Amino acid sequence: GAGVSQSPSNKVTEKGKDVELRCDPISGHTALYWYRQSLGQGLEFLIYFQGNSAPDKSGLPSDRFSAERTGGSVSTLTIQRTQQEDSAVYLCASSPNNSPLHFGNGTRLTVT
Amino acid sequence: AQRVTQPEKLLSVFKGAPVELKCNYSYSGSPELFWYVQYSRQRLQLLLRHISRESIKGFTADLNKGETSFHLKKPFAQEEDSAMYYCALWASGGSYIPTFGRGTSLIVHP
């Protein structure tokens, strides 16, 4: 079946602009995660959604970052007033309850 | 707090040599440990988990609670094993947010 889908695959934006990254999880997966992958930094947790519960936002690095998940399915990660240090690969993953994560291909964000 | 340490950023070996990618963790409870792999131009995918106690692509990993380690081993490395490897910890019974190490890049030379 279809895996986790992320769009766009690449995004180049100017410093100060807002960006939206989209994630379509695997159908039926109740948990959805956003991670940031930077060279030498590994995978940095950003935010976690589980069903209809309030999201765990403890990993968001600043208030410029926000995410929502509509109808328990598609999620959008928004970065406002982008900075060069936001450049990274943003990974989305989904899973059934208490199971290993299934990752998307990621969105490579470059802030110029 | 839970923490995963992968001390090696880069591991370079020749084909046929044994390989061990180190992973140490800190967590006071009962953890679940995983290894994920990312081949060039592919998505991050699960390689193995400690509760399965299985061998995948010749790789094994044993959870050593005394040493708080979950090292990934393969007796004879192949060129196709070249990839980025991430160790991850899942706090069983706690937060369902896996903590990942920084990753080790494995390069297997012909």
Angle at B32 between CA B31 and CA B35, to 5 degrees: 130
Comparing C-alpha atoms, which of B28, B30, B29, B26 is closest to residue B6?
Answer: B26
Q: What is the pLDDT of residues B22-81, one digit of tens each?
A: 999 998 888 889 999 999 999 999 999 988 878 889 999 989 989 999 999 999 999 999
Side-chain-facing half-sphere of A58: CA atoms under 13 Å: 5
Residue A48 has pLDDT above 90, yes or no: yes
Q: Assign A21 to helix, strand or coil.
A: strand
Contact check, Cβ <8 Å, A91/B44: yes
Residue A46 has pLDDT above 90, yes or no: yes
Contact check, Cβ <8 Å, B46/A105: no
Predicted pLDDT at A53: 86
Predicted pLDDT at A56: 93
Q: Which residues of A touch B101 (CB under 8 A)?
A: 42
Residue A31 has pLDDT above 70, yes or no: yes
Predicted pLDDT at B94: 66
Mutate to test the interface with B, among A53, A101, A107, A108 (most CBs of B within 10 A): A101
Which residue would you say has higher pLDDT here, A110 or B65?
A110
